[in-house]
Amino acid sequence: MAFLPFNIAKQKKLNVIIAGGGYAGLAALTNLLQFAPDTHITLIDPRDSHVKITHLHETFRYPLSDFLIPFSVIAQRFGCRYLQATLDLSPDSLQTYQEKRQLIVNEETLDFDYLLVASGCGDVADRSDTGNVLHLSDFMTTSGPDLLTPYLDRNRSAAPIISVVGGGATGIQFLFEIKQFLNRIQCKAKLQLIHSGEHVLNQFPDGFGSYAESRMHESDIAFHPNTHYREQQSGEILLTEKETKNQYELPSDLTFLFLGKKQQVFFTANAFGQIIVNKTPLPNVFTAGDCSSYQSLGSNSLTAQSAVRKGKLVARNILRHAGFPGILEPYLHQDLGYVVNLGASDAVGWLVAEGNLITGISALAIKEIVEAQYDLLLAGIDTYLV
């Protein structure tokens, strides 16, 4: 249905507020302006820049600035307005926004025809940790080398031990980038991976984990499966065996903690992306991205791929809802593949079908194509066919 013509517009110009400048929010913004260039859009986000969060592990090779786009630049590029703020997104507030078709931001009253809530996820982290612990959010403001080098400088006389906690996609990508960075600077630091599961990348087909673990073995990275992280202390990491609950310690000077995504706010939506409050859809309040769960056959995975597709769908449905006869399009997207980087020159992934495993240069090439698509979207060129 994405290729069907939009409905006949009832009014010439729509006023849309997008709360959240991540993958879903910007996908919606660019598609709204693609199909309705005269749409007035206000983008609201607590940060000052869009972060390509799926690239943060690459800051060990490239400047962090390569993965940040200031919202002021986006506003100028697309002719929209940007406000740095955080909205109250409680169910009662959303209901009030729907009834009044307005909200207050920085003491300014903003009227809207449609509101899109496109909040993202934070990293699961125990912020009670003190000392040598780094989280994914740290990489949003500081590059990998700038975070890691100070710790290495303090341990020049020894071979420091670095722990990575979490064998999901984020943890594995950082693990191999850190290893290659240590090799480039000729540092003798030892790497160890702590993971709660028996195998890494266990949310993907079996071939993912076995391929990554074989590369870990070749890279002399120690692996401690079925182990829960408790705390990083001075010179050691406190752990618990998953089955026996036995608590023990391992030498560790620094821990990178990647425990997964945490949905800071969560919204249930119908198949068209309209937020449901008190079992009733809000006709003019939509949601997309990691904060949303659609009651549909489409994928609700916490991936950039799903976020972009939800954002594009919501943009189309806002225009359909604003037009005549107002027939909306259901969300049916299924993930088309997934690639996990294993450093600069290797990767593992699947394409079209989960049993279609691809590795090495072929996997890297697919990842580059997908990332180029998103970069083109941010430039105003939509090359997504499905």
pLDDT tens, 198-212?
Answer: 999 998 988 999 999
pLDDT higher than threshold 60 for residue 263 = no
- What percent helix, strand, coil does the chain show, rounded to 5? 30, 30, 40
| pLDDT of res. 190 | 95
Average pLDDT over residues 372-385: 88
The percentage of residues in the chain with a pLDDT greater than 90, rounded to a whole number, is 78
Map tokens 């910007």 to a residue.
26
- CATH superfamily, region 8-120+264-334: FAD/NAD(P)-binding domain (3.50.50.60)
Query: What is the tens place of the pLDDT at every residue in 16-31?
Result: 999 999 999 999 999 9
Domain ranges of the chain: 8-120+264-334, 124-260, 336-386
pLDDT higher than threshold 90 for residue 129 = no
pLDDT higher than threshold 60 for residue 89 = yes
Query: What is the tens place of the pLDDT at every residue in 169-196?
Result: 999 999 999 999 999 999 999 999 999 9
Confidence (pTM): 0.92
Say how far apart CA 325 and CA 321 lie, in whole Å: 8
**Could you tell me where the DSSP H helices lie in the chain?**
23-35, 71-78, 91-100, 144-153, 169-184, 206-218, 304-322, 360-378
What angle in degrees, to the nearest 10, is found between the helix axes of 169-184 and 206-218? 20
Average pLDDT over residues 30-48: 96
Which of the pair, 309 or 3, is modelled with greater confidence?
309
| pLDDT of res. 4 | 45
Say how far apart CA 278 and CA 217 lie, in whole Å: 52
CATH of domain 124-260: 3.50.50.60
DSSP-derived pairing of the beta strands 227-233 and 236-241: antiparallel
pLDDT higher than threshold 80 for residue 340 = yes
What lies within 8 Å, CB to CB, of 211 at 6+ separation is: 342, 348, 357, 359
pLDDT higher than threshold 90 for residue 266 = no
Query: What is the tens place of the pLDDT at every residue in 296-328?
Result: 999 998 899 999 999 999 999 999 999 988 899
| pLDDT of res. 331 | 95
Helix, strand, or coil (residue 18):
strand
Same fold, 8-120+264-334 and 124-260: yes
Average pLDDT over residues 230-246: 95
Average pLDDT over residues 365-380: 90
Burial class (CB in 10 A: 0-12, 13-18, 19+), 54: buried
pLDDT higher than threshold 70 for residue 150 = yes
pLDDT averaged over every residue in the chain:
91
Which secondary-structure segment (H or E) carries 274? Answer: strand 274-277
